[in-house]
Structure 1
Amino acid sequence: MNILVTGAAGFIGFHLSKRLLAQGYHVIGVDNLNEYYDIRLKKERLKLLEKHNHFKFFKIDLANQDLINSIFEEKAIKIVINLAAQAGVRYSLHNPHSYVHSNLFGFMNILEACRHYQVEHLIYASSSSVYGANSKVPFSTTDSVDHPVSLYAATKKSNELMAHTYSHLFNIPTTGLRFFTVYGPWGRPDMAYYSFTRDIMEGNKIKVFNYGDMSRDFTYIDDIIEGILRLLNNPPQSNSEWDKENPEPSSSNAPYKIYNIGNNNPVKLMVFIHILEKLIGKKAKVEFLPMQPGDVKETYADITDLQENIGFSPTTTLETGLGYFVDWYKKFHLKDQLK
């Protein structure tokens, strides 16, 4: 089976493509290799994927409708996993147009291709950021998410609405995944765990926002990938019990479903930093700062429907996952492999 993975050179896309190839799937990878973070890291990921005979890569921007359609037509795509997006909450304050270009125009082209080329299942990345101004925790997929606090979050909420429309109009099974602070080897350098590791090792100050009074539901990359794989051949069905007079947000009378994928165990930021210090063997120099615009104080995933529907819960502890990351970081960066 040919599976299209967009954002294949990205953090999650790379790990997912590796697992799919190991299971015998043919993976068609798409990525525009933008320079949001060091492109050399993306190319190193691709080098590993391109060692597989069943991996084919196309450098394409999702906003290019003609090229996207040509891949669907040529490769007979059956399942699409859309992970390509302009990421980052803070960056969206400075470069909002890139989010509209990638996350809205690009996703629109994926939906249209799924419509015209009879795709059997579309899985796409949403984000815990959609919970925005919500203060009730844990965040549940049954909660309203109508108050985003960043443009990035607004585009992810828009993706969910767009997907539902196509599920309703064209009977395309769509599964949206709200990821919660994904971390691990080969990760994104703009994420706190990555930049903190670098700065602690180099003796630089780390910037800790809201004066350290924050919590995150850190989720190890292997748990994210396992969740995706279990959903791969379990496309959503119409929910016959869905009530139009009391509509439940995460399902529908269309073949549509939203899941949280998080560790279901938020960790305070200062605890996270202490774990990193212990693993690195060096004390952090901390600069405490006020809350950044677009940030939220806490994320915490309710994963009840993920547990009930596919029998899955993440299992990797933060100490274990960060240990794997720090080991990778030392091997990869300290040997100057990005030169």
Structure 2
Amino acid sequence: MKLLVTGIAGFIGSHLAERLLARGDTVVGLDSFDPFYPRAAKEKNLEGIRAHESARVIEGDILDEALVDEIFREGGFDAVVHLAGLAGVRPSLGAPARYQRVNVEGTTRLAEAALAHGVRRFVFASSSSVYGASARAPFAESERADEPLSPYAASKRSAELVLRSLVHVRGLGVTVLRYFTVYGPRQRPEMAIHAFCRAIDQSRPIPIHGSGSASRDYTYVGDAVSGTVSAIDRIDEGFRIYNLGGGSQPTTLFQLVTHLSRALGKPARIEHRPEVVGDVQHTVADISAAREALGYAPEVDIREGIARFVAWYREHGAAGE
């Protein structure tokens, strides 16, 4: 297959591209290298990809209509995997308009370009945050998801709805993947596991917002990539949504800190702070639909995943701070 992967320099995007290239696919990647975190980290993510004969990395913005049209005109793609976008609940609180423009308008332009050039297979990276305050645990894809708690969540849900409309009126085949707190080697530096690991390693206090009882369904990046590859291979006509979660019990913040402390062999100091508006207190995925349709079967539990992350951090992450 020949695939366009947006956000290829990012955490999930670089892992996905490596998996696709390893199985013999051709990958064209588009990334704007947004300064949300250091470019050097993204360039490091791309080292193996840039060296591969079946890969091409293009620097550019999904909002650049002329560039996107040129990429599709030259591409001959079998499918689009759209991972690019502005990430993060807390940063979105201060820039709601920008999140809507990039995550909703950018997704719409990309989907329009795909349709204009005859590409009818589209995989979209969404988020567990879309479930907001309305969902009942475990979160199932059938939930209404109409009470987002942050502009980020609203932008992802809005993009889902735009894609759903294009399925009905233009015949685009869309698979939406709602990722649940993906972690592992190369995780973005501001995300909890990476930030907490760095704080423990440097003997700094860990800021815990709220009581520490908030929990997440953590998903190891290798498992998330496996689910994504299965979605790429299966996508057909119509609109599908699948949760990609960890497949086990959610982990509280306190439990997460304990796992990191043990893996690092260093004590953790906790600094309590007020809860943050926009944060969902608990997430847990119902993965039965992905299990049945995609053969999705997460293999890495939180303890093993944390051990792998810490091993990567010791070799690469700490030196890059």
TM class by shorter chain equals: over 0.9
TM-score by length of 2: 0.97
Alignment-derived partner of residue 61 in structure 2: 61
Q: Structure 1 residue 46: deviation in Å?
A: 1.7
Q: Which amino acid aligns with 2:12?
A: I
Q: Which amino acid aligns with 2:242?
A: Y
Q: Structure 1 residue 236: deviation in Å?
A: 3.7
Q: Which amino acid aligns with 2:277?
A: P
Alignment-derived partner of residue 71 in structure 2: 71
Runs of 4+ deviating beyond 6 Å: none
Q: 1:257 aligns with which of 240, 255, 265?
A: 240
C-alpha distance in structure 2 between counterparts of 1:282 and 1:233, whole Å: 43
Alignment-derived partner of residue 133 in structure 1: 133
Where 1:211 maps in the other structure, the secondary structure is coil
Alignment-derived partner of residue 285 in structure 2: 301
Q: Which amino acid aligns with 2:58?
A: F
Alignment-derived partner of residue 38 in structure 1: 38
Q: 2:303 aligns with which of 319, 326, 330?
A: 319
> Contact 1:178–1:261 (CA<8 Å) still a contact in 2?
yes
Where 2:195 maps in the other structure, the secondary structure is helix
5+ unaligned residues in a row in structure 2: which ranges? none
Is 1:280–2:267 an aligned residue pair? no
TM-score by length of 1: 0.92
Where 1:29 maps in the other structure, the secondary structure is strand
C-alpha distance in structure 1 between counterparts of 2:46 and 2:52, whole Å: 10
C-alpha distance in structure 1 between counterparts of 2:78 and 2:84, whole Å: 18
Is 1:291–2:275 an aligned residue pair? yes
Q: Which amino acid aligns with 2:317?
A: H
Percent sequence identity is 37
After the TM superposition, which of the residue ranges 152-161 and 205-214 deviates more from structure 2? 205-214
Equivalent pairs counted in the alignment come to 320
Where 1:305 maps in the other structure, the secondary structure is helix
Q: Structure 1 residue 97: deviation in Å?
A: 2.9
> Contact 1:188–1:194 (CA<8 Å) still a contact in 2?
yes
After the TM superposition, which of the residue ranges 57-66 and 310-319 deviates more from structure 2? 310-319
Q: Structure 1 residue 36: deviation in Å?
A: 0.4
Alignment-derived partner of residue 164 in structure 1: 164
Give runs of aligned pairs for residues 62-211 of structure 1, distance below 5 A.
62-211=62-211
RMSD: 1.2
Q: Which amino acid aligns with 1:21?
A: L
Q: Structure 1 residue 333: deviation in Å?
A: 3.3
C-alpha distance in structure 2 between counterparts of 1:46 and 1:310, whole Å: 27
CA separation of 1:143 and 1:135: change in aligned 2, threshold 3 A: closer
Q: Which amino acid aligns with 1:184?
A: G
> Contact 1:78–1:118 (CA<8 Å) still a contact in 2?
no
C-alpha distance in structure 2 between counterparts of 1:236 and 1:210, whole Å: 43
5+ unaligned residues in a row in structure 1: which ranges? 238-254
Alignment-derived partner of residue 328 in structure 1: 312
C-alpha distance in structure 1 between counterparts of 2:155 and 2:109, whole Å: 15
Alignment-derived partner of residue 230 in structure 1: 230
Q: Structure 1 residue 135: deviation in Å?
A: 4.9
